[in-house]
Amino acid sequence: MKIYYEDSIPYAAEFFSELGDCEVFSHKTINADMLADADVLLVRSTTKVNQQLLAKNKQVQFVATATAGTDHVDKNYLASQNIAFFSAGGCNAVAVAEYVLSAMLVMGKRLNWQLANKTVGIVGAGHVGSALSRILTVLGIEHKLCDPSLADAGDERDFVTMNDIMQCDVITLHVPWVKDGPYPTQNLFNKTRLAALKDDQLLINTCRGEVINNQDAIEHVEQGKSLNLVLDVWDNEPSINLDLIPHVALATAHIAGHSIEGKARGTEMLYLALCKHLGIQADKKLSDYLPKAEPSSVQISEKQDFWQVLHQLVLNVYNIEADDQYFRANMQGADQFRYIRKHYPIRREFSAIAVNTGNFADSKAIYALGFLPAK
């Protein structure tokens, strides 16, 4: 069996080398001729999988992407050819939720907020929205969920309307890019919704750039109106509109889900799915390959305030301001956007760090966020 995997899939060799004859490829050079003998094709979002890419292939049986998003895959074509498809939905949900928490803590300090007293509106209650909801529940932060498609599908959680969301102090977007149908998300935040935001509201987008009309955002601030905007995703990536960057409070290059755990979890999910497809027993797991975090443990003082401790712990693991500063210093065009994503440094999730809480009163909340208890 011939397995082709993209060079940006972490630990692919470790997971797949025993399942077949493996070939690694770059999204920059892959073509139909190279894939003519592929039985299995494993990609990330940088490779577009369609009829053109598979035109010379008559035998591929399994295609998978190690990402939650699937915009780069022509799923209808694969189905028409009876080619099995799998996506690693949810692989990066924890990473994105932790990114949003870091953004809220940083922006809360800038805006002189008491985050505990704010209300968060989560638009999209899938993998990421649900992961964020769990974090906010642990922290006792009031939040609301809006997801009409899930509500219609029978999800029994309490959902609110977008009108309710627009009253929240923080609005964070976690929806797929949907152009039409009953619940389109393209330009969900257009000039009308942007104009309806209050000066002290915070809008965070980590899902798809097209959910916020970037040109409308530029015109909004150029008219002298306030906009507290955190953007990890942009319209027309990687050729984004550079004019928007100076108007964004925190700007990053579509890396919210790029923790090493999130990316490697996607690889593990592909491995498990391929083993199931082949009818063989899976015998490898993610923990076999993840490196030890540095530092791997943190000591906190029992005398500290909970929110002071939270700010310290979260930003020690992931400080969004560092990514923002690097992005602004280096972002000049599409090539730089691609480079920042491809060469993103190792970032860990809370679960990689052991915390010694001693007699700290809120230690249960710290561990409920995912931090490990020190041994």
Cβ neighbours of residue 111 closer than 8 Å, sequence gap 6 or more: 200, 202, 228
Do residues 368 and 245 share a domain?
Answer: no
Q: Which of the following is catalytic: 44, 208, 311, 348?
A: 208
In the prediction, which pLDDT does 159 show?
Answer: 98
Do residues 174 and 237 share a domain?
Answer: yes
Do residues 267 and 333 share a domain?
Answer: no
Question: How far is 144 from 121, CA to CA, in rounded Å?
Answer: 5
Question: How far is 151 from 222, CA to CA, in rounded Å?
Answer: 37
Q: Which residue has the tokens 């009163």?
A: 361
CB 366 within 8 A of CB 360: yes
Do residues 226 and 334 share a domain?
Answer: no
Do residues 97 and 237 share a domain?
Answer: yes
In the prediction, which pLDDT does 375 show?
Answer: 77
Domain count, the chain: 3
Q: Which of the following is catalytic: 127, 193, 254, 311?
A: 254
Q: Is 32 left (phi over 0), alpha (psi -120 to 50) or beta?
A: alpha
Do residues 308 and 284 share a domain?
Answer: no
Do residues 118 and 187 share a domain?
Answer: yes
What's 45's domain CATH number? 3.40.50.720
**Is residue 292 exposed (0-12), middle (13-18) or buried (19+ Cβ within 10 Å)?**
exposed
Strands of the 142-146 sheet, one edge to the other: 142-146, 119-123, 170-173, 202-205, 228-231, 250-251
Residue 73 bridge partners (DSSP)? 49
In the prediction, which pLDDT does 303 show?
Answer: 76
**N-to-C CA span, the chain:** 44
In the prediction, which pLDDT does 137 show?
Answer: 98
Supply the range of the domain harboring residue 341.
Answer: 297-373
Do residues 131 and 74 share a domain?
Answer: no
- Summarised one tens digit per residue, pLDDT across range 318-350 is 999 999 999 999 999 999 999 999 899 989 999
CB 204 within 8 A of CB 211: no
Do residues 131 and 221 share a domain?
Answer: yes
Domain boundary among 223, 251, 279: 251
Do residues 113 and 223 share a domain?
Answer: yes
Do residues 247 and 106 share a domain?
Answer: yes
Residue 27 bears catalytic tag? no
| Intervals of the chain under pLDDT 50 | none
Do residues 41 and 139 share a domain?
Answer: no
